[in-house]
Structure 1
Amino acid sequence: MVAVSERWSGKGGIEVYEFEYKIDSSRGGMKRIFAAAFVSSNKLYLLNIAHSDGLENPLAPERRNSLLEVLHSFDIDQHQYPS
């Protein structure tokens, strides 16, 4: 586990949990996973982003920041997804 955090959704006022971790995949070697999850109207919403992160081709800081920006944008708009 690299990082764990939680934040409140700006649009829906819902708690969003975020995770960053590394795995050693049997297909493709080391990968870094960015994940977010929240529950709204008894439905579980998940976002998973996987990126190669091997020794020969590590994840660049600029790319990591871009992926974190996508992760942090994962939100719900109550008007777009009515219960």
Structure 2
Amino acid sequence: MSRGSSREDEVRRMLDGPHPQVPTDLAQQAAERGGRLLRRRRFTRWPVMLMAFAAVVAFTVWAVAAEPWQLPPAETTPPLDGW
């Protein structure tokens, strides 16, 4: 007997056996749990989005004040050789 057919036989025996009883309010419990998960996800999304927005604003303010794209002024002049 091959390994695949023994597994098939085992699955058939499990399916032919008694089936467990399903709670009558299973759909209602699933809907309530899904609602809780959605509310929790929505509640945690707002602070994260607020922090991301604050980070973008802080970076923009820093960039406007510091102007990192410009070269700093030279503090010393190059030596003048050969005059």
TM-score of the two chains, using structure 2 as the length reference:
0.25
Tell which structure's C-alpha radius of gyration is larger: 2
More helix by share: 2
Higher relative CO (Cα under 8 Å, sequence separation at least 6) belongs to 1
TM-score of the two chains, using structure 1 as the length reference:
0.25
More strand by share: 1
